[in-house]
Amino acid sequence: MVSFAVGLTKNLPDGRVMRSFVENHDLVIWRSVSGQLSCWLNRCPHRGMRLSHGFVRGEALACVYHGWHYGKDTACRYIPAHPDLDPPGTIKTMAFRSFDKGGIIWVNIDNKKDEPIIPNNLLSVRSLEFRCPLEMVEAEIPEFEYHSAKKGLLNLKIKKQGFGKWIIEILGQGLYMHLFLHKLPSQKCAIHALSNDNVSSEQRKDMSRLLEHLRYVSEAKYKVLAA
Amino acid sequence: MNFTLYDYAMSGNCYKIRLFASILDVEYERIAVEFYPAAEHKSYKMLQLSRAGTLPILKSGDMILSETSAMLFWMAQKFDSFENWWPAKRGADLNALILQWMDFSSQLSKTVGRARLNALFQTPVDLDKAIEGARRALRQIESHLTEQSFDDKKFLVSDKPTIADIACFPYVALSPDVGANLGLEHDGYPAIQSWLYSIKSLDGFIPMPGIYPMHDLKADETDFAGNRPATGKVG
């Protein structure tokens, strides 16, 4: 099984928690204070609360409901209501292989080694959620046109790199953008986008707006189809 | 007392004033008004005080304010001698942008705020329209904050918070209260998440129902290594 792009490294600093999905698995992804990334099932073994509502304490993730702490090995380390108890080793959650590469957070749900191919000098643009299915966006990208407010119709060279992976090159500007499409439940999807690193803030804004327009077009088409 | 606030604990608009007063460390008198179910803010006595029939109401001497943007501006003028929150001397552009986002905050009240009132109290509203508008407003603020981040700015108009951030914060933070799977949870909005985190990290930050403090910021716990803390106490 391949690795799935679930978010941008930049959007998950040390000590923070996020929620994501791979193949309908509800996941909590968190980074400890020392920077170690973990990806678990998004469910506290105690009462089923989403762990993505929780918070990081040092090298542990704490559930927001009753404060149970889980260490990086997924085992429960501390139960605030029973401060003197050593929690039994059976209280643990399930982990998936996760890693940062090229500015993207990757998750591999069958835990097999798979190294995605991605240049390591890319700069984050943004993650953007779409309220339409991934297939809708896949179909839209090859046809996509964008009028920049300042530069008019951009000359785009669009190349597919594999399922859900695209490179959009903006010719004449020395700009290219890597898009990683990410399937989400309930007919939604996201794009995690990065660009080459020698770009100005204005050029990043242009690319961010290009993605917003792609969302606008894809969602509008989906609305027509769904009606 | 510096002023009197006619207040309702569950209101995001009232919370703007409580939050800003706490950040500025200003004391005030707080009078609780029963918005739901008694609709006390529409009572004869309250309408005598403010014809607007809304909450909050800020009273200072003979002055009565019923719009939160005006209250935040007044508080910044009166209690922030360093002019951090309304940086009048930093130029027309910056001040106009602050006013623009203050105006935008009323869009948030009309969309997120009304949809949330419907979720909490079954207050009648065109729910589909409110949710659609709420989503559009969140996307607008998300895209703006993303662009701000390209210029290393953490807040709506500047690298420092202004009253525009206080005005927009509550109903962005409360949007998940409207319901699940409507595009109003914060999961799909990384720039908003980061902005909420920055505001919750401010000195004097206080919570309200639906807006929780950051448990993860307690410095006394940061050396916790995944094992039970020696003190046996976690905040």
Per residue in B174-194, pLDDT (tens digit) is 999 999 999 999 999 999 999
**Residue B65, burial from CB neighbour count under 10 angstroms (0-12, 13-18, 19+):** buried
Number of domain units in chain B: 2
A95-118 pLDDT tens trace: 999 999 999 999 998 877 788 889
* Residue A173 sits in the same domain as residue A98: no
Q: What is the pLDDT of residues A156-187, one digit of tens each?
A: 999 999 889 999 999 998 899 999 999 999 99
Task: Answer yes or no: do B101 and B26 share one domain.
Answer: no
What tokens does A115 get? Answer: 């190294």
Cα dihedral B213/B214/B220/B222 (nearest 10): 170
Residue range(s) defining the domain that contains residue A95? 4-108
Chosen for mutation from B136, B153, B197, B227 (greatest number of chain A CBs closer than 10 Å) is: B227
Task: With CA atoms as reference, report the closest residue to B59 among B119, B130, B5.
Answer: B5
If pLDDT is split at 50, 70 and 90, which confidence band does A217 have? very high
CATH number where B128 lies = 1.20.1050.10
Q: Is the pTM of this model over 0.90?
A: yes
- The answer to whether position A115 is within a domain reads no
Neighboring chain A residues of B201 at a CB cutoff of 8 Å: none
pLDDT number for residue B216: 60
User: How far is it, in rounded angstroms, from Cα B141 to Cα B137?
Assistant: 6
- CATH number assigned to the domain comprising residue A149: 3.30.530.20
Please state the φ and ψ torsions of residue A117, each to the nearest 5 degrees. Answer: -90, 120
Residue B164, in any domain of the structure: yes
B155, B161 Cβ separation under 8 angstroms: yes
If one counts the domains in chain A, the total is: 2
With a CB cutoff of 8 Å and minimum separation 6, the contacts of B36 are B10, B120, B121
Question: Tell me, what's the pLDDT at A115?
Answer: 83
Asked if B88 and B79 count as a contact pair (C-beta separation under 8 A), the reply is: no
pLDDT digits (tens, 9 = 90+) for A4-48: 999 999 999 999 999 999 998 999 999 999 999 999 999 999 999
Residue B224 above 60 pLDDT? no
- Assign residue B16 the CATH number of its domain: 3.40.30.10
Give the residue from A108, A137, A155 where a domain finishes. Answer: A108
In a domain, A76, yes or no: yes
The answer to whether residues B57 and B170 belong to one domain is no
Q: Do A83 and B221 touch (CB under 8 A)?
A: no
* Buried/exposed code over A34-67 (b: 16+ C-beta within 10 A; e: otherwise): eeebbbbbbbbbbeebbbbbbbbbbbbbbbbeeb
A14 shares its domain with A67: yes
Q: Is residue A113 part of a domain?
A: no
The residue segments making up the domain with residue B40 are: 4-79
Domain match, B105 and B190 both: yes
Residue found under tokens 């191919």 = A117
Task: Please indicate, yes or no, whether residues B92 and B75 belong to a single structural domain of this protein.
Answer: no
**What is the distance in angstroms between the Cα of A221 and the nearest Cα belonging to chain B?**
17
Token pair, residue B118, equals: 């419907």
Which residues, listed in sequence order, are joined to residue A87 by a DSSP beta bridge? none
| pLDDT for B27 beyond 90 | yes
Radius of gyration of chain B (CA): 19
Residues A104 and A134 in one domain: no
Chain B residues with beta carbon closer than 8 angstroms to that of A223: none
Give the residue on A whose Cα is nearest the Cα of B183.
Answer: A131
Angle at CA of residue B9, ends B3 and B10, nearest 5°: 135
Residue A114 lies in a domain: no
Whether B148 is covered by a domain: the verdict is yes
* B66, B104: one domain: no
ipTM of this complex prediction, to 2 decimal places? 0.95
Q: Looking at residue A1, what is its pLDDT? A: 57
pLDDT recorded at residue B213: 86
Nearest Cα to Cα of residue B220 among B231, B212, B228:
B231
Domain boundary among B49, B79, B109: B79
Q: Residue B226 falls within a domain, yes or no? A: no
Torsion of CA B5, B6, B9, B12, to 10 degrees: -80
